[in-house]
Amino acid sequence: MLIATAVLAYQVGGAAGIGLVGAARVLPGALLAGIASLAADRLSRPRMLVPRTASVRSVGPSRLRTIDRDAFMAAVTGHIGASRTAHSTAAQWLRADDTRDRADGGTGG
């Protein structure tokens, strides 16, 4: 689809047409990325992840397969030590969220 759009843009407007189409594709994300990241940083991570995780469902028969955390992190990042870093970072986030929840009386605000 991207190639077809680029070809059509080139046929209609030449190199400037491709530039305009590229800008139209990138500009909304570039303008909204800062606002979206600020909003995401303000929200509790577990409160953001739980609804997303809960929305995943199987539409047919499925099997659950598990993998050890260290093996998963090594496979995904290519670095065995990444597991410890990821775990300590997640633990810090959870502690900060827990502290914030206790400070505001558990209202999550």
DSSP letter (8 states) at residue 39: H
Which of 109, 104, 90, 103 shows the shortest CA–CA distance to 45?
90
CA angle 36, 37, 42 (to 5 degrees): 100
pLDDT tens, position by position, 45-64: 666 665 555 555 666 776 66
Report the helix count and the strand count for the chain, using DSSP H and E.
Answer: 4, 0
- Distance between CA 15 and CA 9 in Å, rounded? 8
pLDDT tens, position by position, 81-108: 776 777 787 788 888 777 777 777 655 5
40 has pLDDT over 60? yes
pLDDT of residue 52: 54
Domain range annotation of the chain: 1-43, 67-109
